[in-house]
Amino acid sequence: MSESLLPKRFLYRFSAPCLHRDPIWTGESENLDVRHRLIALAELEGRPTPAEVRAAWSEAGLAFTVLVRGKRQAPWCRVNCPEDSDGVWLWIDTRDVHNVHRATRFCHAFLFLPLGGGNRLADPIGRWIPIHRARENPRPIDAEQLKLLSRRAKDGYVLDVFLPAAALTGYDPQEHPRLGFTYLVVDRELGEQTFSVGRPMPFQEDPSLWATLELTR
């Protein structure tokens, strides 16, 4: 692949601050404020950015708020087809290693849907997803460890997520304050948005293609 065909985000290694917050999760409406907003790197390639992603950390774990705007249709979410549904993927490497191309046991992938669960199919869904070709998987977790809140908006939705430290193998903000990180927001109506490189690069399985979150106070 020639340099002219490479995504601009492939040519650089990006790092973004992730601000501390305490308490980081109360189980009520969280919605991290604008101070926690991550830069939309897709704009470097002139791509649309219908989603705003915010992130925070504490010793207890990581929190994210995703705001998707500009929709005219309800999200398409099916519990039996989670990987084809509208939703949010998060990839996290608690060691921020960029010189390997296969995930280690410190690499995690999570999928969150704003609805599709519960008897009325109105509850959010969160799952740990194994990473293709991973050398080793992180320790098993129970889906109930993943905390979610979802709210419909007039033109989209807001999804709040909390990943407790117990669900993140190797999470140690004091010893390892840099995390490998990327996300993918999938929407059948609005398209896809990623933090670091998107398709056709194999970012779903290659941690060397992820950006970095710096855990700062």
Ordered by start, the domain boundaries in the chain are 21-216
* The CATH fold of domain 21-216: Immunoglobulin-like (2.60.40)
Tell me the average pLDDT across 174-199: 95
pTM of the model: 0.93
Give per-residue pLDDT as tens, 12-48. Answer: 688 999 999 999 998 876 679 999 999 988 777 777 7
Give per-residue pLDDT as tens, 128-180. Answer: 999 999 999 999 999 899 999 999 999 999 999 999 999 999 999 999 999 99
Secondary structure in 3-state letters for the chain: CCHHHCCHHHCCCCEEEEEECCCCCCCCCCCCCHHHECCCHHHHHCCCCCEEEEEEEECCEEEEEEEECCCCCCCCCCCCCHHHCCEEEEEEECCCCCCCCCCCCCEEEEEEEEEEECCCCCEEEEEECCCCCCCCCCCCCCHHHCEEEEEEECCEEEEEEEEEHHHCCCCCCCCCCEEEEEEEEEECCCEEEECCCCCCCCCCCCHHHCEEEEEEC
